[in-house]
Structure 1
Amino acid sequence: MLPLGLHDEGRETVQLTPSLRSPSEDASSHPIFEFLNPNELKRTFTAQSHGCPPDVTDTLEILPEQGKYRRLATTVAGDENFNFAKCLRDVSNRCDEQDIKWREFGVVFNDLRVVGISARSSLQSTMGSLFSPSSLLRTISAMRNPSVRDILSGFEGVVAPSEMLLVLGKPGSGCSTFLKTLANQREEYHAVEGQVSYDSFTPEDIRKHFRGDVIYCPEDDIHFPTLTVEQTISFAIKTRTPQTRLANQSRKQFNDEILDILLRIFGLQHVRKMVVGNAAIRGVSGGEK
């Protein structure tokens, strides 16, 4: 998922065919290395990844002092059979090799109770009712003592890192409220009681320091209709580019590779340059949005 062509001083990379890609093979024993000077040459060694189709290639780095090579990065070419899960596992293994830590949270909730303000029936205001003393008193009383009701009550559970929780319920049963509460979006509710913990972090810690790591995605996304699909996704990637990247790649290289993979996963390559659009501007279809 990462770009090619990154090198370190004093190390060499060499172009080989996919048939020579075995990571267990001693690179120094192959004839192609006999005439190469590790201190003078810098080339790219690409090879087919074990978990990906033939056009998904790895960048391997030659380690002259050890006579071996290791995988640096993966890049993706166009293929309908691209296996995202296998490539993700491949990248995860390389992150472990380079001691790049994944930042992930689990969540624990116990005796969770969410209280909302009940919707009350109201009559159409008239000129007389606007300035009626009794109407003003009722408004002040409602502000001080709002009518509330329980939306959620007695919820408890654990969601470990990398796990997915499916929430099912009929409209009005509190599914969105539950997801918003776990995503730490509590402002619209009268009260949220009970214990919610994101590993060792409290909801206050998440709000102050990790707002970008715990998010809620509503059913309807609002996009800028005049931006293209490529520009929309690129902006989202740029806001989430990690500071530490595989093989010390640049931000632009990381963004370009992730953009290519996301477009391929969601089948949006053919609308890459098309504007997103809205009711007034023709753009991509509702399903593609």
Structure 2
Amino acid sequence: MTEEKRTGSSRSSSIHEDVTDMRQQYKRRGSKFDDASVFESINPENRAELTRIASNFPLQRRATGSQESEARLQRKDTLEDIGLDHPSLDPTSGQFDQYKWTRMRLKLMDKEGIPRPPSTGVVFQNLNVSGSGSALQYQSTVGSILLEPFRPSGWLSFAKKSPEKHILRNFDGLLKSGEMLIVLGRPGSGCSTFLKTLCGQLHGLKLRKSSEIQYNGVSMEKMHKEFKGEVLYNQEVDKHFPHLTVGQTLEFAAAARTPENRLLGLKRQQFAKHITKVAMAVFGLLHTYNTKGMSCKLEISENRSS
């Protein structure tokens, strides 16, 4: 070990001397680096050591990085030779490419001057929600509205009311623009209350003053006063009747969100149908387009027939 250290130190000092000599020659020659004689002072042993060090320099990594950058530059031009009738833009085609479809859609929107759909993030801090009465037990349906007169606690001030229940305790969170939030929990755990609160549906609920909810810096009061259509709550319905197909159900949802300004002058129905097929192609559901859904009996009969 001692001899190896001495050999390494002597080699380093020798290289240092060679570099010093090279610098002196460089100054005398007036910074002319094209003369190979500048490097003649490096002896063969040190030259081999420098060659070994140079060979370990990560040139391959730099080359790989340049190849990746060239690949990224080439991907940007993939839409130049693609027409609107290309199979990669057709959701019913086996060559459908959702990445190219999205890029083409954004490109056409920018070309036609159509603003991109807004997306809003929400941040909540120290969220505490409590409630009492029928708001904790019933979802608003046609049946519950018809039965409301038979519930004295709902319209008589002197009727005995249920005690207040603390549902959400000290919730903090951030949901960025474009993100999707899935709330999971058992019935009665407060999932619906949490979603209602974020959307500002506080009927029968009480939000503590210390709680704070903002939408991209806009307070909840201002959001629901000036931009009420941007924050909506669609409550669940436990009973589904299998009269509509999967395609019809999703087309209704797409039609409800169809913008006023549409690409290429498409009609509302055409736009909703196209968006529906794209969504079903992305999630692999095109084969269920004409299938009646939301029925366990129908699913069992299909499994038996298959």
**Aligned position for 1:226:** 243
Decide which of 259, 267, 277 is 2:276's aligned counterpart.
259
- Determine the C-alpha separation between the residues in 2 that align with 1:206 and 1:76: 36
Report what 1:46 is aligned to. Answer: 83
Provide closer, same or farther for how the CA distance between residues 222 and 188 of structure 1 changes in structure 2, counting only shifts above 3 A.
farther
Correspondent of 2:264 among 237, 247, 254: 247
Look up the match of 1:101. Answer: 116
CA contact (8 A) 2:195 2:233 kept: yes
| Cα distance change on mapping 1:222 and 1:285 into 2, 3 Å | farther
1:105 deviation in Å?
0.9
Query: Are 2:212 and 1:195 aligned?
Result: yes
Partner of 1:55: 87
User: Which one has the largest radius of gyration?
Assistant: 2
Structure 1 residues 105-149: Cα deviation after superposition (integer angstroms, max 9, x where no partner): 111222221012289xxxxxxxxxxxxxxxxxxx93633xx5213
1:13-52 alignment, distance < 5 Å: 46=83
Bigger relative contact order, structure 1 or 2 (CA pairs below 8 A, ≥6 apart): 1
Kept in 2: contact 1:110–1:157 (CA 8 A): yes
Distance 2:196 2:132 in 1: 16
Could you tell me how far apart the structure 2 residues matched to 1:202 and 1:230 are? 38
Alpha-carbon distance in 2 for matches of 1:166, 1:97: 35
Residue by residue, what CA displacement relative to the aligned partner does 1:85-119 show, whole Å, maximum 9, x if unpaired?
A: 55334433443444423211111222221012289
| Greater per-residue strand proportion | 1
Give CA-to-partner distance per residue, 1:228-287, whole Å, 9 cap, x none. 22222222222211011223333233122112212323433333223336467x46999x
Task: Give 1:110-149 correspondences, 5 Å limit.
Answer: 110-117=125-132, 140=158, 142-143=160-161, 146-149=162-165
Give the CA deviation at 1:214: 2.8
Structure 1: gaps of 5 or more residues: 1-20, 26-44, 49-53, 58-74, 120-138
Distance 1:247 1:214, change over 3 A: same
Q: 1:91 aligns with which of 105, 118, 121?
A: 105
Which residue identity lines up with residue 104 of structure 1 in the other structure? S
| TM-score for the superposition, normalised by structure 2 | 0.52
Task: Determine if contact 1:114/1:192 at 8 Å carries over to the other structure.
Answer: yes
Sequence identity percentage: 33
Are residues 95 and 285 of structure 1, via their aligned partners in 2, closer, same or farther at CA, if it must alter by over 3 Å? farther
TM-score of the superposition, structure 1-length normalised?
Answer: 0.54
Partner of 1:161: 177
Equivalent residues of 1:152, 1:178 under 8 A apart: yes
RMSD: 3.9
Alpha-carbon distance between aligned partners in 2 of 1:224 and 1:169, rounded to the nearest angstrom: 25
Q: CA deviation at 1:161?
A: 0.6
8 Å contact from structure 2 (residues 79, 100) kept in 1: no
CA distance in 1, matches of 2:277, 2:244: 17
CA distance in 1, matches of 2:123, 2:301: 38
Distance 1:169 1:227 in 2: 28
Letter paired with 2:176? A
Between Structure 1 and Structure 2, how many residues are aligned?
201
Q: Which of 283, 292, 295 in structure 2 is aligned with 1:275?
A: 292
**Structure 1 contact 118–149 (Cα < 8 Å) conserved:** no
Cα displacement (A) at 1:175: 3.5
Residues 167 and 274 (structure 1), Cα distance of their counterparts in 2 relative to 1, 3 Å cut: closer
Is the contact made by 1:276 and 1:284 (CA closer than 8 Å) also made in structure 2? no
Change (3 A) 1:46 1:227: same
Q: CA deviation at 1:166?
A: 5.0
Q: Is the 8 A contact 2:79 2:104 kept in 1?
A: no
Match of 2:198 in 1: 182
Q: In the aligned structure 2, how far is the partner of 1:220 from the partner of 1:89?
A: 36
CA contact (8 A) 2:130 2:207 kept: yes
CA contact (8 A) 2:124 2:214 kept: yes
Question: Which AA in structure 2 matches 1:258?
Answer: I
Gap runs ≥5 in structure 2: 1-76, 135-156
Counterpart AA for 2:207: V
Structure 2 equivalent of residue 77 of structure 1: 92
AA of the residue aligned to 1:84: Q
Distance in 2 (alpha carbons) for counterparts of 1:109 and 1:117: 22
Q: Distance in 2 between matches of 1:242 and 1:285?
A: 39
